[in-house]
Structure 1
Amino acid sequence: MDCFDPSCLPRERYVVFVVSTMGQGDPPDSMKDFWTYLTRKSLGARWLEGLFYAVFGLGDSTYGKYNYPAKKLDRRLFNLGAKRITEKGLGDDQHSSGYEGALDPWLLILWKSLNQTNSSLLPRISDAIHPNLNILGDAKVEVIYYSAPQDTTISDPKILIERARSMSPALKYHNEGEPQFMLQMVCFVPSARA
């Protein structure tokens, strides 16, 4: 968000915000300057009049301040005069489907609401709001990660995959000289469903 100049926000017509949560309900570092600007007292209750927005939060319901930055952003935008396209969505890492458990239904409502607000935005909206569609569809590819060095034999891939899944980017110190990834994809095998 900090790459976007918040003073330009009143000139936007539609904005969708996807907001993660850090630590104990803190906004991500990439949002702090943006948020500081939005909290200025000089911004009036009609500053964002004419802006339509939607907010989806990425959080973990085991924390006390679950999706706190998304909730605060939604409330602040509304208090500055912006109009909600749809209610905020709250993704939860603890859901059996991860954050997608909330994202998929939220997206269907978002597309339908955008189409009602301005049908020229999404001319093929009928594809997304089919009455029998309750999810957006299955993944088209499957990615399997192995963390063993190339010169060793993988004796139990389940343990290696489990270890890789439990790694948290927040716990890894990023060295500026290294690429920004934790796992490496070594090959791609097309799925039979693709």
Structure 2
Amino acid sequence: MKAIIVLCLIVLFPVGNAFSQEQDSKRISTNDRQPIKVFLAYELGEMAFNNFRNFSGEAGVLFQNDNLIRFVYQNVKLSEKHLSSNFAKSVTGENIRGLMKSYEVFYDFNVFGIKSTSKFYLGLSTGYADDYYEHTTSDESVKNTTWTIGLAPSYRETNLFKVNGLYFNLAIPFRYYFSPLEETELGDSIVNRHLITNNLWFFIGYQF
């Protein structure tokens, strides 16, 4: 349900935004375009859900054909409140906190665009995940590491607020764990099985 709701937002937000703005009528000639552009961004989705503890962000390259290659790093301390929420559904019960580390490389294909600064992407990924969960009162814990593959629909908009280079990227990555984290009981709560996982990412950054 979480993924379905956010996918709907990805579709509806840019469409509504397109009606509120004039269609960009200027075409940039091939000679005027830079071969590549480099970008950096901070991630606000998982960070906001978990009290902005540690760091999550992306760095990458925008090619002349509008495709992207991105490296995303997450090192997020997972709060008890978020893990036990209906939104996350990572844990059944309370009193469990965690640490999520991941390293992922995405190649994002430009599927279509509403205008020159608004693009939909579908990305393929490969990466490595390191998950750790611990019970806050029983001293029990579980750790799992695995290689991953995945895909990620996303919507990217540049030149926000008419600031050249400022951008956001709203993405929902899905990943498959080659070595799943099996359902594990910690104290009086349960860490649910991790085989296919997803996040809600909202990057804000600058494209040079």
**Given the two structures, how large is their TM-score scaled by the length of structure 1?**
0.21
Higher relative contact order by CA 8 Å / sep ≥ 6: 1 or 2? 2
User: Which of the two has greater helix per residue?
Assistant: 1
Structure with a larger share of its residues in strand: 2
TM-score for the superposition, normalised by structure 2: 0.20
